[in-house]
Amino acid sequence: MIAALRKPVAAAWMALCALMLVSCDGEHGVAPARETERPVAAPPGTAPVKPTAALVAALKAAKDEDAKTAVVRKLLDRRGAEVGEALSWVIENEDDEDAKGRIVTEIAKGTTPDVIELLKKIYNVGDDGLFTGPAAEALVKIPGDEMSKMLAEGFKNQSTECASASVADALAKRKDKAITEALLWAIEDLEPTWQIARARVIAGLGGRKDRRATEALLDSIENAEYDGAREAAAQALALEDGTKVTAALVKALATDETEEVRVAAAESLGRRRRARQAEREAITAEIEKILAKEKADDVKKAIAGALAVKGPAAKP
């Protein structure tokens, strides 16, 4: 009879440990696990329960998003294959897409090898920006050529516009060669109808000190059909090298049919006035002429702001 009771007693003890681990707050909760965990004491005749195993049990028993998120936070500092498996399980078994996105965002705060491997898998699936975006934002912070190559290849495999746009936003923060090549690839080969994603790619090309990137921005500010793409190009060109850049911004300010693009061009010209003393007088003359003819209040305000920008102090 004692042997028959051991199994239900062990199960009850596992559940009790799970509740204790999840209900504790950050101050009084279980300390982050190390490579070797100390088993939780168990009643005589039952197997000891490791803290991670109890948390995994609690995760699978959780009924709502808040409960799942609370357990996820406690799992992030733990190590072992069961951690990655449990986090994968909760993602795969969450039916609410918004809740799943928030859980992935929480998982993306983790830094252990098991969490990083899971984020790589999420990133390379590339089917939804709610999941791919948070994974990309976490992975771009990890240095190294191998990570850059993985991010670049994964970007090419994104299967939806939302995912591509989210990844492009993240990749904009990383300036190495592999990422630049991936963004240049997207300018040519991204799905033509993915206009929002293309605009995010264009925004990410700024500040790369790459001639091809600058040329792509110059082409986009003049020829892109989507207003958002031309606006992104105007913003990204702010501090690119060359008088051709200034000329393109002046032309956009004077002739683009969309007010948002003209505002972006004016703001970028203001930044160039501050940063490029050699062009300051020429830019001032051009935008004063445009201001005299401009009728849109927002654009006039942006031009006035550009004219008010003060340049760097003259060197003695």
Lowest-confidence pick of 124-133, 152-161, 251-260, 283-292: 124-133
The SS3 call for residue 192 is coil
Residue 82 domain-assigned (yes or no): yes
Lowest-confidence pick of 39-48, 132-141, 197-206, 237-246: 39-48
Contact 72, 103 (CB under 8 A): yes
Q: Give the separation between CA 242 and CA 306, rounded to whole angstroms.
A: 19
Whether 131 and 218 share a structural domain: no
Show which of 141, 160, 190 is a domain's final residue. 190
pLDDT at 74: 86
Q: Give the separation between CA 16 and CA 96, rounded to whole angstroms.
A: 28
- pLDDT (tens digit per residue) in 259-296: 999 999 999 999 999 999 999 999 999 999 999 999 99
Which residue's structure tokens are 């090898």?
A: 113
User: Rounded mean pLDDT of the chain?
Assistant: 84
Report whether pLDDT(7) > 60.
no
Whether 181 and 212 share a structural domain: no
Whether 152 and 227 share a structural domain: no
Report whether pLDDT(196) > 60.
yes
Residue 36 domain-assigned (yes or no): no
Concatenated DSSP letters for 14-54?
A: HHHHHHHHHHS-TTTSPPPP-SSPPPBP--TTS--B-HHHH
Report whether pLDDT(73) > 70.
yes
Whether 228 and 287 share a structural domain: yes
Lowest-confidence pick of 82-86, 120-124, 193-197, 238-242: 82-86
Q: What is the CATH number of the domain that holds 293?
A: 1.25.10.10
| Domains identified in the chain, total number | 3
Q: Token pair of 259, please?
A: 């007010």
pLDDT mean over 83-109: 86
Q: Token pair of 145, please?
A: 């050529």
Q: Return the higher-pLDDT residue of 125 and 140.
A: 140
- pLDDT (tens digit per residue) in 22-48: 444 443 333 344 444 444 444 454 444
Range of the domain at 63: 16-21+46-93
Reported as a pLDDT band with limits 50, 70 and 90, residue 127 is low
Contact 125, 132 (CB under 8 A): yes
Whether 251 and 280 share a structural domain: yes
Closest CA to 122 of 111, 112, 134: 134
